[in-house]
Structure 1
Amino acid sequence: FHCFLLFPTCLYPHTHTRTRAHTGPARQFLEQALTICPTDPLIFHEMGVVAYKEADYKVAGDFFLKALNLTSGEAMEAWEPTFINLAHTFRKRGMYKDAIKYYERALSVAPKSPMIYTSLGFTHHLQGELDDAISYYHKALGIHPRDTMTTDLLKLALNDAMQEFSIKGDDD
């Protein structure tokens, strides 16, 4: 049962404060909402967003995990943003394998999302796995060819791969 069904506008004030980057009022509002609806996964998701904005990635990840645990398998497509946000928290903490796991979970419910492919590419890129990074960037651009950020990341990965190749070539 989700409290937002009883109070459909209850998260609007939080959205307003969050967009203005005032996490204090948003946090207070959400903590109050948790006292009313302590098992609502949407509130835990939003608490994770607030913690993420405060760069508290461990706490944010814990909130996102709690939200997913409370969903009890219902309409997982609706929880794609939570999978992505959780993956971002792992990536920010350098936990790349966990990040990839949750990006792939997000991809399983949203296989046409160029952002997920770009995020996977970026995570592989951070690990120096250039072939995988390039492949994911290409997949993202296959869906959204005019994405300048992904294009720039692809160029960086290709340059890194060329440098790596030339260094290996010099060693031979």
Structure 2
Amino acid sequence: MGLLSVELEDYDLAEKYFLQSLKRNPKDKDQIFIYLAKIADKKNQSEAAITWLNKINNGPRFIESKLITAEIIARKESVDKALEFLNGLKANSPEEKLSLVQSKASYLTRSNRHQEAFHLMQNEASNFPHSPEFKFDYALLADKLNNYDLMEKLLREAIKIKPDYAVAYNALGYSYADRNINLEDAKKYIEIALSIAPNNHYILDSMGWLYYRLGKLDSALSFIQKAYDVQPDPEIAAHLGEILWAQGRKKEANDIWDISLQSFPDNEILKETLKRLH
């Protein structure tokens, strides 16, 4: 009932149910602390949220609680404060270590500090020689810095470790499509990704973008519209608008971009698309 109330955004009722659950001394108290923290955060009670999270001192939900704390710090104070907080934490397993590294890289990337994020991953690479997830994140940063040889190497290594890694196939195919090279290989990789994860919006977007590069605008629009309907991500919005623009539907393109800019005013791809086409 508590989770249903959260889904319905009745946070007061959800909080009431979870507090009642705590009184029954449940087995997984830490999970309830996390729910209560998230509810407090939704109610703009960040101090209360952190108080709940600080009740988790060890165990399987420890790092999760600290990552949520870092998110609150980043939002209420600064990314640098969040990074400082994360740097003070000690991981007790390779999985926790990976979560911390990924979180730090994510904050740097979201702040457009791609070079710093890349150096972080470069320095940590020897700690994760067999992690496809680490290699994938590292590859995306290499791509951001136009280090395409390293990106391809890392993605191929990730696929070798995890042959059904749909997002790695997709990243490789999309990189080719975006650079307008090796389009047959791009199609092959994106088709493999789609066969593994047919409803993934990023993969649908990649296939649409590939068709755009091939000049097949109707097929491109079909895939990217479906991707946008699943998730109106700013990069997908940029692509959808560009295809509409290419079809001469400029008002519809501008409407899509305007809606996306309201939520994502600093998105690099969205801004670059508008600058290039206007």
TM-score, normalised to structure 1, is 0.70
- Segments of 5+ residues of structure 2 without an aligned counterpart are 1-92, 250-278
Indicate how the Cα distance of structure 1 residues 101 and 4 shifts in structure 2: closer, same or farther if over 3 A, else same. Answer: farther
In the alignment, is residue 86 of structure 1 matched against residue 176 of structure 2?
no
Question: 2:181 & 2:201 partners in 1: Cα distance?
Answer: 22
Superposed CA deviations along residues 49-77 of structure 1, whole A, max 9, x for unmatched, are 11111122232122111111122x4xx3x
Which residue does the alignment assign to 1:13?
104
Q: CA deviation at 1:139?
A: 4.2
Question: 1:10 & 1:114 partners in 2: Cα distance?
Answer: 26
Indicate which of 24, 48, 52 corresponds to 2:139: 48
Tell me, yes or no, if the aligned pair for 2:210 and 2:220 is still in contact at 8 Å.
no
Within a 5 Å distance, the mapping from 1:70-149 to structure 2 comes to 70-71=161-162, 73=163, 76=164, 79-91=165-177, 92=179, 94-128=181-215, 130=216, 133-142=217-226, 144=229, 149=239
Question: 1:115 & 1:6 partners in 2: Cα distance?
Answer: 26
Question: Counterpart of 2:135 in 1: which secondary structure?
Answer: helix
Indicate how the Cα distance of structure 1 residues 37 and 120 shifts in structure 2: closer, same or farther if over 3 A, else same. Answer: closer
Q: Percent identity between the aligned chains?
A: 16
Higher Rg of the two aligned structures? 2
- Segments of 5+ residues of structure 1 without an aligned counterpart are 160-172
Indicate how the Cα distance of structure 1 residues 22 and 139 shifts in structure 2: closer, same or farther if over 3 A, else same. Answer: closer
Q: CA deviation at 1:116?
A: 2.8
Indicate how the Cα distance of structure 1 residues 28 and 121 shifts in structure 2: closer, same or farther if over 3 A, else same. Answer: closer
**How many residues get paired?**
149
Tell me, yes or no, if the aligned pair for 1:96 and 1:123 is still in contact at 8 Å.
yes
User: Which has the bigger relative contact order, CA under 8 A and spacing at least 6?
Assistant: 1
Question: 1:60 & 1:93 partners in 2: Cα distance?
Answer: 16
Question: Counterpart of 1:11 in 2: which secondary structure?
Answer: helix
